[in-house]
Amino acid sequence: MGEKPAKTPFAVVGAPAAVVGAPVAVPPPPSRELGASGPALWNSIQGEFRIGDAGGVELLMQACQAADRLAGLAARIAEDGEVIVTRSGPKSHPLIREETSLRGFLCRTLGKLGVTDQPLKSVGRPPNGGLGWRGPQHADK
pLDDT tier for residue 28 given thresholds of 50, 70 and 90: confident
Mean pLDDT of the chain: 80
Beta strands in the chain (DSSP E): 83-86, 89-92
Whether the pTM exceeds 0.85: the reply is no
> In this predicted structure, what is the pLDDT of residue 52?
87
**Which pLDDT band, with edges at 50, 70 and 90, does 116 fall under?**
confident
Q: Is the confidence at residue 95, as pLDDT, over 50?
A: yes
Query: Are 69 and 101 contacting, i.e. CB atoms less than 8 angstroms apart?
Result: no
Range 113-131 average pLDDT: 68
Q: How do residues 59-87 score in pLDDT, each as one tens digit?
A: 999 999 999 999 999 999 999 999 999 99
Angle, helices 94-113 vs 54-80, to 10°: value is: 160
Long-range CB contacts for residues 59-64, cutoff 8 Å, separation at least 24:
59/109, 59/112, 59/113, 60/113, 61/30, 61/31, 61/32, 62/109, 63/106, 63/109, 63/110, 63/113, 64/30, 64/34, 64/37, 64/38, 64/39
pLDDT of residue 20: 52
Q: What is the pLDDT of residues 2-12, one digit of tens each?
A: 676 665 554 54
Share of the chain above pLDDT 70, in %: 65
Q: Domain ranges for the chain, please list them.
A: 29-113
